[in-house]
Amino acid sequence: MSGMKLAIAAVAVLGLAACSNNRWDDAANSGAGAGAGAGLGAGALDPASPAYFQQTIGDRVLFAVDQSTLSPEAQGILQGQARWLTQNADYVVTIEGHADEQGTREYNLALGARRANAAREYLISQGVAGHRLKVVSYGKERPLEICSNEACYSKNRRAVTVLAGGLTG
């Protein structure tokens, strides 16, 4: 784990040198479910960096209530993820499925697994090797937003593609 943190720190430094590189600008749908860029201009990121994956491409897709089907928008984000993963073949990922709090614990675990698996299947259909893609569900255990209304629920019903392993696998 600590090896991975070092690797991320290193690419962040390299990112400064690569700021003018905009080859990845066609990863259009970025902003849509991605976490806020927190003041970091996307242009400042190395396109091969995990930060670029998270912020510019978008590391997550969102779902409707009690659904695990991928919206056209979600498919666009996953297409961007698939391209990135194909070009950065050293990364393995864990896709984390989540549910909002409106549901029983066990059902939400199963629902989160469905969502994560829907994202995984789509990435495979876009050419990412299945052995690089693990899935895990957190059900309603790890909400991102904590209000009890749809504004928060819609952000919590998500499948997040978490980069892991890097060169160390």
Partner 1 sequence: MRKFLAALLIGAAAAAGAGAAMAQDGPLRIEIDQGVIEPLPYAVPDFVPETPAAAEYAAQIARVIAADLSGTGLFREVPASAHISKVTGFDNPVKYADWKAVNAQALITGAVSVNGNQLTVRFRGHDVFAEKELGTGLQFNGTTDGWRRMAHKVADAVYSRITGESGYFDSRVVYVSESGPKNDRRKRLAVMDYDGANVQYLTNSASIVLAPRFSPTGDRVLYTSYESGFPQIHVLDVGQVQRKVLSSGDGTMSFAPRFAPDGRTIVYSQTQGGNTDLYTMDISTGAKTRLTSAPSIETAPSFSPDGSQIVFESDRSGSQQLYVMPAGGGEARRISFGEGRYGTPVWSPRGDMIAFTKQNKGRFHIGVMRTDGGEERLLTASFLDEGPTWAPNGRVIMFTRESQGSAGRALLYSVDITGRNLKPVKTPDGASDPAWSPLQN
Residues near partner 1, by CB under 8 A: 66, 68, 94, 101-107, 109-111, 113-114, 116-118, 120-121, 134-138, 141-148
CA distance 35 to 39: 11
Q: Which two tokens stand for residue 73?
A: 């928008």
Q: Identify whether the C-beta of residue 98 lies closer than 8 Å to the C-beta of residue 137.
A: yes
Estimate to the nearest angstrom the gap between the alpha carbon of 142 and the chain centroid: 15
CA distance 101 to 126: 31
Q: How near is the Cβ of 109 to partner 1 at its closest, in Å?
A: 6
Helix (H) or strand (E) holding 30: none
- Residue 57 or 109: the one with the smaller Cβ distance to partner 1 is 109
Q: How near is the Cβ of 68 to partner 1 at its closest, in Å?
A: 8
Count other C-beta atoms under 10 Å from residue 169's C-beta. 9
Q: Identify whether the C-beta of residue 69 lies closer than 8 Å to the C-beta of residue 168.
A: no
Q: How near is the Cβ of 114 to partner 1 at its closest, in Å?
A: 5
- Residue 16 or 147: the one with the smaller Cβ distance to partner 1 is 147
Q: How near is the Cβ of 40 to partner 1 at its closest, in Å?
A: 22
- Residue 29 or 68: the one with the smaller Cβ distance to partner 1 is 68
- Residue 73 or 101: the one with the smaller Cβ distance to partner 1 is 101
